[in-house]
Amino acid sequence: EKDPLIVLVTGAAGQIGYALLPMIARGAMLGRDQPVIIHMLDIEPNAETLIGVKMELMDGAFPLLKGVIATTDVIEACKGVDVAIMLGGFPHRKDDNKDLIFSNVAIYKAQASALEQHADPDCKVLVVANPANTNALILKEYAPSIPEENITSLTRLDHNRALNQIAEKLNVNVGDVKNIIIWGNHSSNLYPDANHATVNTGVGHESVKELIDDDHWLNTNFITNVQTRGQTIVKARRLSCASSAAISVCDHMRDWILGTPTGTWVSMGVYSDGSYGIQPGLIYSFPVTCEKGEWSIVQGLKIDEFARGKMDALQRELIEEKRVAYSYPH
Ligand code: NAX
């Protein structure tokens, strides 16, 4: 049997945590043969909820689950961690982006230091809490000894939502659609790009763009459907999405650690290296393939003028978030 990996989930008493924890314990994230020890972190006002969530996790009687720690102590939570899923953060309040960024800078600064000092030196981190890209950037800045390629942010939910939109439009199984791209920022202006996506039609991989044959739809409704999907769910469920977010977290980590299938890429927020003219020093979502725990940005895709405009606008948005984050009083 493999040695257990220690998985930290911050904000574990929250909505996504509730859906995610049993998935991790069941092997949906790291594999059905990978034992795990779960560290759940939340803040003092939610300490009791956290204990309740832990009790349910224990009652799942998961053979892969070798231990659970539920704590409000960030240092205890970060000890020996191999994989860190950062769901915890200051909640969004309408039209107060600066406040949101500042509150999260304080949180991510402290958690970065704790991870740097107490986690495994090769710990892999996924930031989910919004603003996810900028929180990931702060974490990277304040944990300089964690390799920069180990710090990523979530755009996989948007990626999966985009795959579903295409599958519904073409009336095909979502498992046959691949190679969507979510570029840039996980924000209300996010850009799903289907220009390079394909559908397995049984006889081969055909271009989504050609099959749909409606650039207007791809450049309007398709984009807004993905952008507003979260709000559409809130309206229907009267709660924000949780299980789809948890699934996408598992997808992100599983593909990163165990590898993407040949010929398939996925979207991940990663530290930019100048690819596609995006300036280095941002956490920007790119199409990536993964092998043996390492991601690499898919190179050489043709970018049309429409996509270029969206990619640049999202870059500007991230530069602005970064500026605000860096103006946080040190
Ligand atoms: P909840 O508000 O249900 O849970 C957040 C939890 O974090 C709470 O239990 C809270 O007590 C805890 N928390 C707050 N500060 C903390 C700290 N300093 N240390 C540890 N825990 C702390 O939110 P939930 O619906 O679970 O969503 C979690 C985060 O994911 C939110 O920031 C949300 O905006 C973000 N999302 C990001 C997505 C993405 O694609 N990147 C999609 C899903 C989700 O909306």
Q: What are 208-262's pLDDT values in tens digits?
A: 999 999 999 999 999 999 999 999 999 999 999 999 999 999 999 999 999 999 9
C-alpha 185/C-alpha 190 separation (Å) is 6
Indicate the SS3 state at residue 50: helix
Mean pLDDT of 175-193: 97
In sequence order, what are the residues at sequence separation of 6 or more whose Cβ sits closer than 8 angstroms to the Cβ of residue 157? 241, 244, 245, 248
> What are the counts of helices (DSSP H) followed by strands (DSSP E) for the chain?
12, 14
Q: Count the Cβ atoms, other than its own, within 10 Å of residue 35.
A: 19
Active site residue 186: yes
Q: What are 85-107's pLDDT values in tens digits?
A: 999 998 876 656 788 888 899 99
- Provide ipTM, 2 decimals: 0.99
Residue with CA closest to ligand 1 atom 15: 89
Out of 186, 205, 252, 330, pick the active-site residue.
186
Q: What are 110-123's pLDDT values in tens digits?
A: 999 999 999 999 99
pTM higher than 0.95 for the full model?
A: yes
Ligand 1 atom nearest to 11, measured from its CA: 7
